[in-house]
Amino acid sequence: MISIKTGERMKDKVQFVITALLGIVAFILFFGFVLSNIDPDNKLEAYTLAISFVGIFATFGGAYLGAKIAGENALNLKEKEIKYERKKEYIMKHHKMLSDLESKGFNTIKQELNKWNNNLLNENEQVYACVLSIKEVLKQIKSIHNEVEITDIICENKFKEIQKNIETFEKIKWVNGVHHNLDASGKKRVNENLINDKHEIFRLIKKIEYSLDGIPKYDIYELEKGLR
């Protein structure tokens, strides 16, 4: 998507340059033609004068364009500085929370949930195994919430959303039947019933994933990116 937009912007710039050059040539020809008709004996001077006018306009136009670009660059740099300061303030204020989430492997846990949820959608024979793994990951998430002091109110609200969706997930009839101690026939029976609920489970876990994506607002390594 980014490369397409960049290509479109480059195409627009090329078209603008070509149009501007054609306009300049047309102006010189027209202005030179008018002046040469006024003074037929000095046609060369007429076209020279036309070119001089173009040079004057180009000088002022270049100065304006240079000032505009400099202003835009200064504005972009200022915006980057503001974003950097916001990250810095957030990370300093919530450093312990970020460190604790990192030490608990929070990002890895999020990836695991996403992996098993995607597997669930594409699986029929092992729905039971996918749901069992999802339950284990959700246990880890609940444990992290209990063990880590969440100092950011936005993150705390995200965890509350997650908790509500976990409770809804646990109320799905055959989810409670998923545990390690089932024998082969029990696993088969639960698996057959879970197949009917797997799309509902997938959507519910996807909601949890969306909430997890907002925790934390910045990771602990954000400042290393600097003003890039």
Q: Under a CB-based contact definition with an 8 Å cutoff, are residues 191 and 106 in contact?
A: no
Which pLDDT belongs to residue 79? 84
- Which pair of tokens denotes residue 10? 């480059």
Number of Cβ atoms within 10 Å of the Cβ of 93: 12
Q: What is the pLDDT, as a whole number, of residue 135?
A: 94
pLDDT of residue 1: 44
Q: How far apart are CA 114 and CA 205, in angstroms?
A: 8
Dump pLDDT digits (tens) for 110-154: 999 999 999 998 878 889 899 999 999 999 999 999 999 999 999
CA–CA distance, 198 with 120 (Å, rounded to integer): 7
Query: Can you list the residues of the chain whose pLDDT is less than 70?
Result: 1-14, 16-17, 20-65, 224-228
The confidence score (pLDDT) of residue 226 equals: 58
pLDDT value of position 222: 75
CA distance 3 to 151: 39
Tokens of 36: 């040469």
Pair of tokens at residue 76: 């972009």
Q: Supply the pLDDT for residue 150.
A: 95
Q: What's the confidence (pLDDT) of residue 112? A: 96
